[in-house]
Structure 1
Amino acid sequence: MARQTETDRPDPAVLLQLAAREGRGKLTVFLGAAPGVGKTYAMLERARGLKTSGMDVVIGLVETHGRSETAKLAEGIEVLPRQGGDTPYGEFDLDAALARRSALLIVDELAHSNAPGSRHPKRYQDIAELVGAGIDVWTALNIQHLESLSDLVARIAGIPVRETVPDIVLKRADEVILVDLPPAELIARLNAGKVYLPDNAKRALDGFFKPATLTALRELALRRAADRVDDQMVDFLRQSAVEGPWATGERLLVCVGPDTMSESVVRVASRLASGLNARWLVVSLTRPGTPLPAPADAEQLEETLRLAERLGAETRRESASDFVDAILRIARREHITQIVIGRPATRSWLRRSLPDALLRGAGEIGIHIVPGEGSAPSRRARKWPSLPEWALTLGLPLLSVGATTLFGLGLTALVALQNLSMLYLAAVLLSAVIAGRGSALIAAGLSFLAYNFFFIEPTGELTVAQPQEVLSLVIFIAVALAAGQLAARLRESAKVSRQQARQSQALLDFSRKLSAAHGQESVVDAIASHLNASLGRPAIVLVPDESGDLLPTAAWPPDQALGAAELTAARWAFDKKEPAGFLTGTLPQIHYLFRPIISAQRLLGVAGLVMGPRDIPLAPDEERTWIALLDQSAIALDRARLTRESARASVARESEKVQSALLSSLSHDLRTPLASIIGAVTSLRQLGDKMPPESRADLLLSIEEEAGRLNRFVANLFDMTRIEAGMMKARREPIELAAIIDTSTARARKLHPDLLIETSIAPGLPRALGDAVLLEQVLFNLFDNARKYGGASLPVTIYARAEDGEASIAVTDQGKGIPEAELEKIFDKFYRRAKGDGRPAGTGLGLSIARGLMASMGGSIKASSPAIRKRGTRFTLRLPLAEPGKAS
């Protein structure tokens, strides 16, 4: 028998965990990003399936929050009474659940805080006792209630999270089921009243239920669910002794102390560990022999360690004289890959040096530094006050030449050198590069004098003993001046290049900001803020309104108000298309300088800058920057104007299209029956008694039919107007579908005797919620539509049954069918498909009215094609059942 190697054995720790679960119940958590995604609904829907299969399922507590669909799913499942009586706000009865001991118990709202006097302060502790007693429990949780994410969610949503659940509860759950819903659908459910009541829904939209907030919460929920799946895979691999790289290879070491910022460090580390799916260790270090900390500090440290344990960390206390060595020793012993430490706001030398010391000795271990609120900037980042330009121009040559002279004197005392002029050239170049041309000239002159005085015989005098030394001095001063000029020119060129780079970057940033802006308001805001950021002056933008009046539209900083003189200057700049205001020919005494914003097509607005109190115009580079920004602003405003005009033109075209369709429909559908009525009346009046009785009867029948047709058309127009105006108030009461189907078929057969209708109604069909009169009108419109497009020779079938908790009525014709691309268009107003002879049939209002009437009753209508043998169209109506429990 082959000997089992170390890598072939299952992980003992995992086997111990499995053994510890023996005799315990199974905890399943339905996790969602926000209220209303359907956690309770999904939980109850699965529970009904298990109940149907014979499992003993009991509801300990379910919060429906007034949602009728959720409440219907709970019907037929045993519900335990609440503490204090079966009231909507009673607490969960833990003792009753333990006594009932069902196979599966549903306990909603995992993060709920129990009422004072309960056995446990939190509901998750109740559930832990139930699971420990061997009862399987299903519960629901929103992602914002996790302890490690509560502060992050509070910053995202701007709303504090009061009830939290330790992360270890979710980590120890046997199964986590993610219930997901896109933010757009969740907001639509909220608007439809399926999440909260109308008043609460409006407050939720203004606060928590914003697309950005819901998207962020959805990402957190998806990430946490993915981490849970990864943990399950790792446990399976370890149980099966499968060798491979583990997803939990990352390990974090978190250093905390008795300070207030350690809590933030622990929360940041928890999110980092969750994102990396890493195990993490929290360590508190103390020095041996140090006195005990103050009671408040000791309590703060205990609270921090308890928080870390709730978030799923392992905590440890260590004693060491050298914190850096102890941290690195623990990191290497525990195979730590990343260290997380905090940088407090206090200026402690020890704490400030700890990150640097760890960085020097960490090697391949990553270091994460969490800044505290109000952390002091490092000494390197501290800015010293700038010197005046004249002080730098004069002081730098004195310092550089003096230092060069001292260095040269010291050097000549050690080594005999023939020529030290090259040292002074370095001083001249340094002055030129740092302070410019003037400083280089001063440095050259001082170098000439110092070199002559200290290093040319006779020293200590400005006289020259040897003629060749005079030539050397002349050559030196020439070279020094030339080198200084070149270095100064290079410095100025570099300065110009940096300015041009800054201007180019500013223009690039501005163009990106404008390209992301939509609409005139966002474009104008971007212009004002970027003018202020680029030129360092308060900026304001004025744009004409619809009547042509120039109005201040955006300003940065926002608290700017224009007086009468400033508004006059802005209007002058707009009307005359030239600058006005500060140091111009128009109102030069004001502190605003206005320039028009002009595109290639038209004048779009005016931009203004606040100038200083002194009579100093804009610098040339500022002038160029402003002109370039105004050019880009003109392009962006022109684009916004064209977009706005295009939208208006599109609306006008659609309005014209609807108007044309209405006039076309009126001209055809009103004139045709009127012409028939006028013709029949004329024949009766002129011929009178000369006509046989049969002919007179036919003419009178024609008048009656055409008058009825005309009446139906006017009624359709009236119904469409009421639906669009929101005046259609449908009743929602229990109705007998079989009786309504019989009435509508009889009405259709009376109007169209040649129409064949086959009905099929499921036996015992329960009643639905709706309006009998409106539903009859919908069915009649469908029959009329089927006769027009399916023909009278082929039968129209209608069947009704209950399915998925709703009443379903299907009307099917056997015509040519409808292309898939037109299945939604047929419900648009005045949309008509051509009959076999190529002429449009009907008014194009019947199906549009049918959809409107179904929506007013709380139902829906949907078209599908082909329906029978690759032809025909089926219209399916759905209404909620009045008695869902009786659905077959």
Structure 2
Amino acid sequence: MATNEPYETNRPDPDALLALAEKDRRGKLTIFLGAAPGVGKTYAMLNRAQRLRADGTEIVVGLAETHGRTETSALLEGLEILPRLSVSYHGKELQEFDLDGALARKPRIIIVDELAHSNPEGFRHPKRYQDIGELINAGIDVWTALNIQHLESLSDLVAQITGVNVRERVPDTVLKKADEVLLVDLPPAELITRLQDGKVYLPASARRAADRFFRLGNLTALRELALRRTADRVDDQMIDYLRQNAIEGPWATAERLLVCIGPDALSEKVVRVASRLASGLNAPWLVVNISHSDRETMDDEDLRRIDDTFRLAEKLGAETRRVTGSDFVTEIMKLAKREHVTQIVIGSHCRRWLRNPLRTSLADALTQETSGIGLHLVTADENTPHRIRPKPVWPRLPTLAKPFGIAFLCVLPAALIGALIDRIVYLPNISLLFLIAVLGAATYAGFAAALMAALLSALAYNFFFIPPLYTFTIASPHEVFALFTFVVAAVLAGSLGSRIREQAKTARSRAAAMQALYDFARKLSGTADVDEVLWASVSQLHAGINRNIVLLRPNGDALETAAAWPPDTELGIAEIAAARWANTRKEPAGAGTGTLPNCRFQFRPLTSPHGVVGVCGYEVGSEPLDSNAERMFSAIIDQTATAIDRARLSSESAKQAVRLESERYREALLSSISHDLRTPLATITGAVTSLRELGERMSPESRDDLLQSIEEEGARLSRFVANLLDMTRISTGTLQAKREWVDVSDVVRSAAERARKYFPAQTFETGIATDLPLLRGDSVLLEQVLFNLLDNAAKYGGGEPVNIYARRDGKELVLSVTDLGKGIPTVDLDRIFEKFYRRSKTDGRSPGTGLGLSIARGFVEALGGRIHAESPAVRKRGTRIVMRFPVEEKDQTLGSP
């Protein structure tokens, strides 16, 4: 049906709704933000707390720093104050916030002052904002206070404004994730007056603060930063509201920043500036480092600097990435187009024309290539070094010894061979020998050896082969040109050879790492056992990063060590606590993290699509993992988590298959019972009813027929119940066969007579060998087996005679039952021994329960024998069930039947 109403396209943003749902599941964070100490943040918190307490709201004070201010201390009256935790630190007694006490109390709202405070060593978290994060995750609303200078992205700007380096810092993401930010503002002049009146610090401290920090210009700049950051936060909240409610409004443009860093001191400033820029634009940002693929790998100090810069960027909310390439500009532009970047931020040093007169800077090259993308240049301060550790222009003498020795060993044979050839025949291009020497030095030892080989080759060629000989004088101008050309060619060839060598070295290193990961992946894919996966993982990690490794798996509410390398690795109480934290919070914990950093180990959760399946820890030692080891570690634990999850799913699948099979048997049993009980019971009930109602009026023949029916159906029920009991004994393992000497011929005759009684219309023929030995077993079980087989043959034999044969075959006694029915398809020969399996057609009788052959197999195996079916049996028809039993030697044998 058509409608004239417009199609509704305005829908709430799913990401915004998910973020809102996530906030509803945790506590709320309220930050009282100020431009500087003394503006009244704690006073405003406590004043608001008193109003809520008067309204009946549950609110307690976990920690409030009054700094001796009487007005602020007076606001604590009437509020519940949690006891502080007394800690001895460097000979001093400190009163710190008791996190565990607050979690145990679990109030609705708690006040925890000084968000940027650093905890003493030995605490679960090194920073108080991490304590507050744990309170929020526990569902507790938290009020706290923060000065603007403690924000991580503003620390360098604050240091530039005030000249004071702020040591205690808070990631910008803490402020961004706050549910409410309240600006506590005070004009700078009034704040200075409060400082002079002694309402901020004690008089001696106030004088020092007024001289260094509390200046009118400093406070004005800090106030502007606080106002701007609060305005940005309000703008973020407004955009979130518009997205959650699908309201068309002043949406922010889709900006995305790309930040390029390197191993220099300027990179940290670039990241901080980019963080402020991204915060102002409300845009995501990506931090990337591009390293050359055809040069020497960076030294350890450069790698550590890049890793530190990446950690700072991640703390400020950026995404990080590493790229390898030979052309920086090309790689940056490719990444910018792929990530839809709108602005690029890079650092730029002042150009030193005397040092690099012909070199084009990265900023100039990007300016020429960018089109439609904004470019931000962050310049270095005058005291910022171009490199973290300036490399000397000339290498130290010990570093020159090896390349010089290799160059000398390459040039010496070239000079000797050239002198030998020159004595035999004159060659004008004998300098090619020295070019080979330069290439050999470059290939074996790199550019330094190639350059030295080129210089030695030039000297040797001039001394031995350019007239006047045995001097370094050149008489002919064309020889000067030839020597200059040779030196240039040798340097270029050596540079090319050394570059190829470095590329090959890098390729071999990467290929080795990839091969190790590939071998590890193949090893994991070939096993479904969790223990094998764990031991393969710890051994691979130990070999890859050369650290002690431990893997822990959850066992109920506890974590237990599942594998470790070396195997005798032990964990202390702090390590166990860090591992539990990583397991429950799904985040790294331990050394080098924000949770229990004093541990020896750092623990990472093994996260799979179905949750955390374990925890992996490595001993940090004196240095953290470098970037290559970090990537290998992350790749291996990801593969390990996937393998553990796959093994778990495989185990659950096997258990589910068993449950389904058990359920199928149960349903088949219930179906069989309901059918096989209902039919004879209906016959018996009908016969009894007829006898009661018409007994005297019925003829004697009719009464005999009814009584015979009752007798037959009663016997059938008896056999059915006996089969169920026998199957239960076999399934539960309670079947115990006797070990007596059995006369098999008597058992065969007894089973045949019993079958003739139950099936009088069926012919049963027996054939017993004359040399039939005694059998060690249970005559009752053996007779039941034969009767079940005869019962089955009578039903499916088509009315033809059924043959029973008993003979000896070497050290085995063979019993067989053969019918001449239609036979069994080859694919079903093994299935006929399964429980509840029944063939589709019989001779007209009831097909039975499908337990007879299954019981026969259980009894035969209990007697130590084997049973199988053969079809066709005789003249391409019929079925033969063959049983074989081991014969124990005895002096007695049986005669003929």
Please state which band the TM-score falls in when normalised by the shorter chain: 0.3 to 0.5
The higher radius of gyration belongs to: 2
TM-score normalised by the chain length of structure 2: 0.46
